[in-house]
Amino acid sequence: MSNEEYKKEFFFKGNDKGCLLVHGFSSTPAELRELAERLSSEGFTVLAVRLAGHGTEIEDMEKCTYNDWIKSVEEGYMRLKDICKEIYVIGHSMGSLLALYIAENHVVDKIVTLAPAIITKDKNAKFVPIVKHFIRYIEWKAKNRPEEEAKYLLGYRKIPLASVHELGKLQRIVRKQLPQINKPILIIQSHKDQTVDEKGVEVIEKNVTSQNVKKIYLNNCGHNITVECEKENVFTEVTNFLLV
């Protein structure tokens, strides 16, 4: 399969339990491909949406607001709702924010957040609303990765600051509405994540009203936990959580 094919939305038909997968900021559905295949092998119906402005041209992302990203996920939610009795929302990084937003505003049965971007580690993010008027893009410093990881990480190599501003808006909205979530939730976070702050895990746990909050911490991988060295553990934990 070519890189362009990996970037696209994909759907695996299964039983009446639907998994809605949401990728991260500036990324593509490819980062969730292997997780989706594992879930499909267990019988779940799986839909991995591609967020507006992602997986095409950087200018497309620059034009989008957080509402456009929400719309992308809500459309996927409605498609699954038409064919499934239960809906599970699963997101990575900013995709976790969008999964939480769906759980805050729609009926879902379980939520999985992978490296949730509740709090970002970049301390300069607070200046973005001003700086975006003077600097259009920032370069994304890509790591040297094994081919087995790199083939699933097909996001943009630079980021519009206007989009970073939209991410900040989404963070604030989702955090404010966390008490509306009362369904079982799984949170998986790496201690070595250099992109999001693991304090976000506690923010979720302390503010949701769910009686079932499961936290799992990883010790050896970075932010991209669905493609890095502990991915099999992640896939197993997610699958077991959804099967119970």
pTM: 0.94
Tens digits of residue pLDDT in 133-155: 677 778 877 677 888 888 888 88
pLDDT at 132 over 70: no
Q: What is the pLDDT of residues 163-211, one digit of tens each?
A: 999 999 999 999 999 999 999 999 999 999 999 999 999 999 999 999 9
For the question of residue 193 being annotated catalytic, the response is: yes
Q: Which residue has the higher pLDDT, 124 or 16?
A: 16
- The predicted structure's pLDDT at residue 172: 96
Q: Predicted confidence band at 91 (pLDDT cuts at 50, 70, 90)?
A: very high
- Check if the beta carbon of residue 99 is closer than 8 Å to that of residue 76: no
Answer yes or no: is pLDDT of 127 > 60: no
In this predicted structure, what is the pLDDT of residue 125?
64
Active site residue 197: no
- State the pLDDT at residue 83: 98
Residue among 93, 96, 163, 190 flagged as catalytic: 93
Q: Which of 26, 92, 96, 193 is catalytic?
A: 193
Quickly state the pLDDT bin for 63 (edges 50, 70, 90): very high
pLDDT band at 60 (very low <50, low <70, confident <90, very high): very high
- CATH number, span 3-243: 3.40.50.1820
Annotated binding residue at 44? no
**Burial zone of 27 (CB within 10 Å; 0-12 exposed, 13-18 middle, 19+ buried):** buried
pLDDT > 70: percent of the chain: 93
* Domain ranges (residues) in the chain: 3-243
Lowest average pLDDT, out of 9-18, 65-74, 90-99, 155-164, goes to 155-164
What is the structure's pLDDT at 135? Answer: 76
Q: What angle do CA 97, 87, 19 make, to 5 degrees?
A: 75
Tell me, yes or no, if 109 is annotated catalytic: no
Mean pLDDT for the chain? Answer: 93
11 annotated to bind ligand: no
Closest CA to 195 of 144, 234, 141: 141
Annotate the chain with three-state secondary structure: CCHHHHCCCEEECCCCEEEEEECCCCCCHHHHHHHHHHHHHCCCEEEEECCCCCCCCHHHHHHCCHHHHHHHHHHHHHHHHHHCCEEEEEEECHHHHHHHHHHHHCCCCEEEEECCCCCECCHHHHHHHHHCCCCCEEECCCCCCCHHHHCCCCCCCEEEHHHHHHHHHHHHHHHHHHHHCCCCEEEEEECCCCCECCHHHHHHHHHCCCCCEEEEEECCCCCCCCCCCCHHHHHHHHHHHHHC
Long-range contacts made by residues 62-71, C-beta under 8 angstroms, separation at least 24?
Answer: 62/136, 62/160, 62/162, 62/163, 64/163, 64/166, 65/166, 66/166, 66/167, 66/169, 66/170, 66/173, 69/94, 69/98, 69/166, 69/170, 70/98, 70/101, 70/170
